């Protein structure tokens, strides 16, 4: 929910910009800040008529990464999807003039619906829970099947070699993040457990999934979508900061991650375990295989078990990098979340969890080689 502003902005300057650029928004504005939005501060704008809008901006100060806070990319993908069957907020304006509120920002429509922090989707009927998960899966599949060129986005990312590019990007990020010192204690954030071994494993072309190139959201999960206020379907996808062109597997394992982590003690330590996802614990919650089947009904991509486990392992490694990034931003007091310090510490169990999944992939790979010789 939105509450008091934690990172002040020049409200008079913002109002002047809106009066000139987005006349449908009627000033004066009532402005509050959302509690979520780890990377980019996010604000709720209510205009003089009661209409609501959302503003997302780059955080203030010197940024650790030029690639991690690109609100212009968020705006561009939302704008490109306006006339497709993928539900997104209405894109209103992008401002890259730092003099307005200190950093670049964009404004989009506010979606009046339900956001569930818990991916088990509590407090709904079993029938609605099943339908809502199916809507989440099929909405992702519809997004993946849109050719980037068809919406003028062929230059949004490179269509091949996604995971190797991710490895390079994360290596650059992780090195910088590990060296970041707390501005009060001087203690470095430090490396992720098994970091070097995981990089070597994920770089091995023999075990990598077959290369594919589609749109990817980059952080597709239940709490990044808005559901209709009463009906069991998605009305909007949020948080497009990491969207690009890449391997669709990355989005699939991100969405189904709670199933993979359900019975794992390390996942619990990383804050990823959810008892609701244990077999039979929650009426109406689909299985991971059911989600994969729903996905395959929309797009022609059938995921193999080894691909899935590899993707899950990489997802845990990526999660550790993201938590390390939150820890680094907290170290320089740049993180926008009230719980940033707590999230940052999860990099350690996340790293251990990723390494455990890597061992599973290795076992599957060796078993597959054995069968191929029979």
- Closest to 293 in 3D by CA, of 130, 57, 105, 93: 130
DSSP helix/strand/coil, 222: helix
Share of the chain above pLDDT 70, in %: 94
The domains located in the chain, with CATH, are 2-109 (3.30.200.20), 126-367 (3.90.1200.10)
pLDDT average, residue stretch 210-220: 96
Give the H/E segment covering residue 34. Answer: strand 30-34
Q: How confident is the model at residue 112 (pLDDT cuts 50, 70, 90)?
A: very high
pLDDT average, residue stretch 285-293: 97
Q: What is the pLDDT of residue 372?
A: 43
Q: Which of 239-248, 254-263, 340-349 has the lowest mean pLDDT?
A: 340-349
d(CA 284, CA 121): 10
Q: What is the pLDDT of residue 335?
A: 66
pLDDT of residue 171 exceeding 80: yes
CB 288 within 8 A of CB 259: yes
Q: What is the pLDDT of residue 10?
A: 95
Q: What is the pLDDT of residue 370?
A: 52
Q: How confident is the model at residue 331 (pLDDT cuts 50, 70, 90)?
A: confident
* Close Cβ partners of 349 (under 8 Å, ≥ 6 residues apart): 266, 267, 269, 270
Q: How far is CA 114 from CA 191, 232, 284, 349, in A?
A: 37, 10, 18, 31
pLDDT of residue 374 exceeding 50: no
pLDDT average, residue stretch 88-100: 97
Q: What is the pLDDT of residue 279?
A: 87
CB 250 within 8 A of CB 322: no
Q: How far is CA 291 from CA 83, 111, 223, 257, in A?
A: 26, 25, 17, 11
Q: What is the pLDDT of residue 371?
A: 54
DSSP string of 258-283, one letter each residue: HHHTTT-HHHHHTT---GGGSTTSST
Q: List pLDDT tens digits, range 5-39.
A: 888 899 999 999 999 999 999 999 999 999 865 57
pLDDT average, residue stretch 75-90: 98
Cβ neighbour number for residue 185 with a 10 Å cutoff:
8
Q: What is the pLDDT of residue 230?
A: 98
DSSP string of 343-362, one letter each residue: HHTTHHHHHHHHHHHHHHHH
Q: List pLDDT tens digits, range 140-154.
A: 999 999 999 999 999
Q: How far is CA 211 from CA 163, 205, 207, 247, 303, in A?
A: 8, 10, 12, 7, 12
Mean pLDDT taken over the chain = 91
pLDDT of residue 125 exceeding 60: yes
Q: How confident is the model at residue 343 (pLDDT cuts 50, 70, 90)?
A: confident
Are β-strands 2-3 and 214-216 bridged in parallel, bridged antiparallel, or unpaired?
Answer: unpaired
pLDDT of residue 182 exceeding 80: yes
């Amino acid at each position: 929910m939105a509450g008091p502003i934690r990172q002040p902005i020049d409200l008079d300057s913002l109002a002047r910009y809106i009066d000139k650029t987005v006349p449908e928004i009627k000033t004066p504005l009532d402005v509050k800040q959302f509690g979520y939005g780890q990377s980019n501060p996010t604000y709720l704008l209510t205009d003089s008529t009661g209409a609501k809008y959302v503003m997302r901006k780059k955080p203030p100060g010197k940024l650790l990464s030029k690639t991690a806070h690109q609100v212009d990319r968020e705006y561009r993908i939302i704008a490109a999807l306006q006339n497709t069957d993928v539900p997104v907020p209405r894109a209103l304006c992008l401002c890259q003039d730092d003099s307005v509120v200190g950093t670049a920002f964009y404004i989009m429509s506010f979606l009046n619906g339900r956001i569930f922090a818990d991916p088990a989707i509590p407090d709904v009927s079993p029938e609605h829970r099943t339908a809502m998960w199916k809507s989440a899966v099929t909405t992702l599949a519809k997004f993946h099947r849109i050719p980037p060129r068809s919406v003028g986005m062929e230059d949004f990312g490179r269509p091949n070699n996604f995971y190797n590019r991710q490895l390079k990007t994360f290596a650059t990020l992780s090195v910088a993040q590990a060296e970041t010192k707390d501005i009060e204690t001087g203690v470095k954030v430090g490396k992720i457990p098994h970091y070097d071994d995981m990089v070597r494993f994920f770089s091995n072309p023999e075990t990598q999934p077959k290369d594919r190139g589609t749109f990817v959201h980059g952080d597709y999960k239940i709490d990044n979508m808005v559901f209709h206020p009463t009906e069991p379907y998605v009305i909007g996808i949020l948080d497009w900061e990491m969207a690009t062109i890449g391997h669709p597997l990355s989005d699939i394992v991100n969405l189904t991650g709670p199933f993979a982590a359900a019975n794992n003690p390390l996942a619990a330590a990383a804050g990823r375990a959810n008892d609701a996802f244990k077999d039979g614990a929650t009426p109406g919650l689909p299985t991971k295989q059911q989600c994969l089947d729903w996905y395959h009904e929309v797009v022609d991509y059938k995921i193999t078990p080894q691909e899935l486990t590899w993707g899950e392992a990489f997802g845990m490694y990526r999660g550790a990098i993201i938590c390390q990034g939150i820890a680094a931003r907290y170290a320089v007091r740049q993180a926008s979340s009230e719980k940033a310090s707590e999230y940052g510490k999860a990099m350690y169990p996340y790293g251990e969890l990723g390494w455990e999944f890597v061992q599973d992939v290795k076992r599957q790979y060796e078993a597959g080689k054995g069968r191929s010789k029979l």
